[in-house]
Amino acid sequence: MKKNQHTLYAAIELYTALATPLSTYQYSDVGHGREVHRRVELFVNAAVTPKGWENIQRIVRVRRWGNRQGKDFEEVAYYILSKPIDSAQEVAAAIQQHWGIENKLHWVKDVWLGEDAMTVRGQQGVALLVCLNNIALDLLLLAGLQLNKDTFAKINNKVEELAKVLNNKTKK
């Protein structure tokens, strides 16, 4: 749930401040230079939501606090669910899994494909670039290659080498 949905965000923020959670789950992660505590609260949706958001079954509030690289932080995030899940622990696992996949993919696209540094302008150009990058990653994965430093070093700016690798891997 992003803040750009102003009315929905405000309704959810107010509702969760006043309502009692259906289920709560709290856990911590320590490592990689950080200590993060999370409290996941799951609510049955009874909030007054704007038109178009009538199918929200559950609302989730996640409070995160702790220390990252020596700096304290505290934040709150909201999620909406269309499924009537009743376990905050189940929702917490799904959120962690989603962000694990999301972060891994975005890291590859930024670090190895340099998407964040590209200066493509215009919606169509950006959409085309993202599409081509996704096809490239899919072809590498289809060929059984790992998306890592060695793979990209072997094929970066080497069209013939890339063709050989993909041709050899897909023939097997």
Is the pLDDT at 170 greater than 60? The verdict is: no
Please tell me whether residues 63 and 122 are part of one structural domain. Answer: no
Domain extent at residue 169:
112-172
Please tell me whether residues 74 and 118 are part of one structural domain. Answer: no
What average pLDDT does range 64-76 have in this prediction?
93
Please tell me whether residues 148 and 81 are part of one structural domain. Answer: no
Between 21 and 127, the higher pLDDT residue: 21
Average pLDDT, the chain: 85
Please tell me whether residues 13 and 74 are part of one structural domain. Answer: yes
Residues 6 or more apart from 1 whose CB is under 8 A from it?
8, 9, 12, 77, 78, 79, 80
What average pLDDT does range 153-170 have in this prediction?
75
Enter the pTM of the model: 0.63
105 belongs to a structural domain: no
98 belongs to a structural domain: no
> Highest mean pLDDT range out of 39-43, 52-56, 94-98, 101-105?
39-43
Is the pLDDT at 172 greater than 60? The verdict is: no
Please tell me whether residues 1 and 81 are part of one structural domain. Answer: yes
Between 153 and 92, the higher pLDDT residue: 92
Please tell me whether residues 60 and 1 are part of one structural domain. Answer: yes
Residue type, 144: G
100 belongs to a structural domain: no
What average pLDDT does range 26-35 have in this prediction?
87
Residue 10: closest CA among 1, 23, 22: 1
pLDDT in tens, 84-142: 999 999 999 998 886 655 556 777 777 777 777 778 778 888 888 888 888 888 888 88
Please tell me whether residues 77 and 130 are part of one structural domain. Answer: no
Q: Report how many domains make up the chain.
A: 2
Please tell me whether residues 17 and 76 are part of one structural domain. Answer: yes
